[in-house]
Amino acid sequence: MGFDISATLQSMESAVKTTVTGAWPQAQQIWASFEQTNKNILADMAQATITGQMSKADLQSYLDDMKTTLQTQLLASEVMALAVAQAAANAALDVFWAAVNAAIPTI
């Protein structure tokens, strides 16, 4: 299975939208900025992991940092509680993790 960053980002956005529900109008701007800033980085890291140039552990560590960043940005909007911001960040980056894992060839 190949990796498609655009489809993955759409799925990540859906995960955030589903998690934040009523706060989506405010979170949408934050998500758009996060996506624009990180799209190429995520695509490069996915490819590096899929081709074996980056370990899954290194990718997971980086994704943990990205979760914290997204969570902080969502909290800064002051439209949602900590638990919702954490859940939204986790949902988005968990979608990415699953997409990368699905694209890694099995031997």
Planar angle of CA 16, 14, 55, nearest 5 degrees: 75
Query: Which tens digit of pLDDT belongs to each residue from 65-107?
Result: 999 999 998 888 766 788 888 999 999 999 999 999 999 987 6
Which positions ≥6 away from 24 have C-beta within 8 Å?
A: 16, 17
State which amino acid sits at residue 50. Answer: I
pLDDT at position 1 is 63
| Domain ranges (residues) in the chain | 5-103
pLDDT at 9 over 70: yes
- State both tokens at 48: 């590096």
CB-based burial label for 59 (10 Å; 0-12, 13-18, 19+): buried
Distance CA 42, CA 106 (A): 21
Q: What is the mean pLDDT of the chain?
A: 92
- With a pLDDT cut of 70, the percent of the chain lying above it is 96
